[in-house]
Amino acid sequence: MELTIDTGKMLNYNIPQMKEFVQQAVDELMKLKLFDLGITSVELERKQNKKSRLQAALNDCIYGSKPDKEFVKEFIKELLQQYYDITSIKINNIIPFERVEHLSVQDKFDILLHVYKKEYGYKALSVLIRKYDLDLLRKTEDVEYFFIDMDDINRIYKRESPVITYEDKYNIIVQRVYSLYKGYNVIDDIMDMQVDGLSCGVNGLPESFVQEHKSEYESVANTGAVRSYESIWLYFQGKSIHLKFLSLGSYDELQRVCQNVYKYGYPGQLSKVDGFKVNKLKDGSRVVVLRPDFCETWCFFIRKFDLPDISLPGLIKDKNCDLVIELIGFLVKGSMNTSVTGAQGSGKTTLLRAMIEHIYTPYTLRILEMAFELHVRKSYPNRNIVTIQETDAITGQAGLDVLKKTDGVVTIVGEVATDPVAAYMIQTAQVASLFTLFSHHAKKFPDLVMSLRNSLLKTNVFNNERIAEEQIISVLNFDIHMEKDISGKRYIERITECIPFEPGDFDIDDCSRNSYKTNNDSNENSGNSSNSNCSSNSNSNNSNSSNSSNSSNNSNSSNSSNNSSNNSNSSNNRNNSNSSNSSSSNSSNDNDPSNLDRLIKEAQYRYYERMLGGHSYTYRNIIEYDLIENAYVVKNRISDSNRKAMAKAMLREDQKLFAAFLDKEFGNLEESSGRCG
C-alpha cells in the first residue's frame, strides 16, 4: 500500500525515532481511504484484506498473541526496508553490533536471546539459565537471593562471542522497535519464553516517594537504590529471580505496560476506584495488575501455564524415587480420592497433570479450574476430556453441577480455593464420580481436613462439625504434599493416608505402635465402651464420663465399708491397679476379671480421647522425604481397607504388579506404626 509520509525530518537512525516513524506510518495507513486510490476491484479487495488483517493484529498483539505479534513485526520490517536505507554499515549505527565495548547490557542480552532462540525456540531463556547456572542462590551485600546482574551478562557474552548475520541484526532491531511501539519494552521477548511467570514494579522506590520526598529521595539515590520501574523479576521453576540488569526506563513506561497488559477481553477500566484487575492473556497466562492508590506503585504479575509434557519419572527425583513414582501410579489406578497440597510454586499443578497419565484411558475426565492451567487435551488429544473454568457469571459450584451431567467418570479440580467449590467437590467425590483428584494449599493433613470441614459449615451444607468432618474423611483417601525449599528445590514431603474410625472397628494398634490390645471377653457395657474409643463422639464422651463417675462413686462407697485390717492391702491394690484413681478396691473386687478389664478399657478410652482430640479419623505417613539423606523412606503400610479397595479397582495385570510392589516395599514393615489424628 502506498503511503504519503514526510520522511525529511524523521529518518533518524536510532530506535526511539524509528519507533515514532512506524507509529506515524501505521496511523496514516489506518486513515487511508482505499477507494480514493483509483485501483482495480481485485487490487482494492487485496489491500482491504491486508489492512483489516493488520488492524486485527495491532489490536490482538498486545494481548499475548504470538501469531499477531509476528505479523506486526513483519509489517514493521517491510516499512523500515521501504523507507530506511539500512545498509550493512548503517545498521551498526543503530546498535553497535561490531563494537562490543559500546554495546549496552540490554544489547548483549537481546543478541544472546536471539541467537539461542534460533536454536531452541521459546525454550531459549531456560536453556541459557541452566547452562550458566543462573538460577542458583547467591549472596550479595550480605543478602542471599536469586538474581542475574550485568556482570553475568557481560561474562556470558564474552564467553559466547556470538556471530550474527545482517539478517539477525535487522530482526533484533525490528524486535526492539516493536517492543516500544506495541510490546512490553525490555520484557517483551521474555514474555514469550517458556518460564513460570514474570513480575514488574515489586521492588525499588515508588513514584509517590520520589514526588513527595524529593530531598529524602536524592539522599537515598546516592546510595544506588533502584526505582520501581527498574524492578523486573522472573519466576523460573519455582524461583523468583531478580533481573537486575534490565529496566523499563521510566515510571511512565511502567504505567504504560501495566495499562496494556491486562486488557484482553475488555475486563473493564483500571482506575483509582477499581485499583486492581485479574485477567488473562490470549495465550492463557494469568495477569494481575495493581495501581495507586490501592497499591503504593504500579506493578503487575504474569503467571504462565506452559506446562511441559512431563511424566512422574521426569518430575520426581532423588534416592528411592521409584518407590514414590510406583505408589502414586497405583493410587491413581486404584481410584483413590487424592489431594495434592502445598504452597504456591511448589509444583502441585505439574504433579497433578503428570498423575493424569495413569488414569485408565476408557475413563472420561471432567476438569474444573479457576483458570485454564492444565491443558490436558494438548497431551491427550484422543481422550474424552472436558475442562471448564469459573467466570464472572458462572461459579465453580455451578460448573461442577453441570459436569455431573456430562457422563464423567473422574473429576479433577485444579484448585480448591473457595468454600463453595470445596463443598461441592466433597459432594461430587461422594456421588458423582468414580474418584476425584484436586489440589489445595493446606500445609498439614489436619489443616486440610479442617479447611474442608469449615467450607462445608460456611456454605451451610452441614451445621455440625463432627458430621461435616465425617463426610470429608469418608471420601479423602490420600494426600500428597509438595514442598519447596529456600534454594527452589521441589520435592514430595510426604504421602499421607487418611483412615476413618468405624464404630466396632477400633484396634488400639491402629493408633500407637506401643499400645496394646485387650480381650473383649467382658460384659456388654464394657464392650460398648471399647468400641466407641476412637469414634470420639461428644455424646459418647459424656456418657462414658458419667459411667466413669458412677464407677468411682461406687468404688468409694465400697472402700468406706472396708475394715481397717484391709486398709494396707487396699492401698497396695490401689497403687498396683491405677495410680490416678483415688479410690481403692477390696480384695474380692480386685480379683474380679470383668471389673479389671472395665477399668483398663476406661483408662484406654480416656487416653485416646485426649490423643485424638475429638477427631473421628487417624492419619499416617506412608512415605516421607528424608532431608538428611535426600531420599524417600517407607514409614507405614497402607491400611487393609484401602489396599483391598485399590486392588479391586485395578485391571488384573495391575493387581499382580500392585501385590508384588506391596510385598517388596512394605512386606517387612510392622503392621501399624502410624499416629493418631
pLDDT mean values, one per 10 residues, the chain (677 residues): 52 88 90 76 84 91 90 94 90 94 96 96 95 91 88 96 95 96 94 92 84 60 72 91 94 93 89 90 89 93 79 91 96 96 90 94 91 84 91 82 88 88 86 90 93 92 87 92 90 94 50 37 38 39 40 41 41 40 46 66 57 71 95 94 95 96 83 44
- Cell numbers of 560, please? 468406706
Residue bearing cell 479433577: 412
Q: Which residue has the cell 469418608?
A: 474
Tell me what pLDDT residue 538 has: 38
Where do runs of H (alpha helix) occur along 244-337?
Answer: 251-261, 312-315, 321-333
Alpha carbons 254 and 177: distance in angstroms, whole number: 17
What CA–CA distance (Å, rounded) separates 118 from 167?
12
Q: Per the confidence metrics, is the pTM higher than 0.75?
A: no
Per-residue pLDDT at 69: 94
Burial of residue 401, with CB atoms counted within 10 A of its CB: 0-12 exposed, 13-18 middle, 19 or more buried: middle
Query: What's the half-sphere exposure (Cβ side, CA atoms, 13 Å) at 248?
Result: 27
Which helix (H) or strand (E) segment is 22 a member of? helix 15-31
By CB atoms closer than 10 A (0-12, 13-18, 19+), residue 62 is buried
Nearest to 639 by CA among 617, 615, 624, 655: 617
Q: Which H/E stretch holds residue 376?
A: helix 376-379
Per-residue cell: 228: 520501581
Nearest to 203 by CA among 170, 175, 240: 240
DSSP H or E stretch at residue 283 = none
Q: Is 392 exposed, middle or buried (0-12, 13-18, 19+ CB in 10 A)?
A: exposed
Q: Look at the block and give the residue holding cell 468411682.
A: 552
Cell numbers at 287, concatenated: 495477569
With CA atoms as reference, report the closest residue to 354 among 410, 430, 437.
437
The reported pLDDT for the residue numbered 523 is 39
Q: Where are the alpha helices (DSSP H) in 475-515?
A: none
Task: Answer yes or no: are the C-beta atoms of 364 and 405 closer than 8 Å.
Answer: no
Write out the three cell numbers for 471. 463426610
pLDDT of residue 536: 39
CA distances from 215 to 30, 42, 51, 209 (A): 47, 66, 52, 10
CB distance 499 to 618 below 8 Å: yes
Rounded distance, CA 333 to CA 647, Å? 9
Q: CB-based burial of residue 604 (10 Å sphere; 0-12 exposed, 13-18 middle, 19+ buried)?
A: buried
Q: Are 330 and 661 in contact (CB under 8 A)?
A: yes
Sketch out the chain's domains with CATH numbers: 15-83 (no CATH), 96-217+224-303 (3.30.450.90), 312-501+616-676 (3.40.50.300), 503-551+591-615 (no CATH)
User: What does the pLDDT read at residue 488?
Assistant: 83
Per-residue model confidence (pLDDT) at position 513: 37
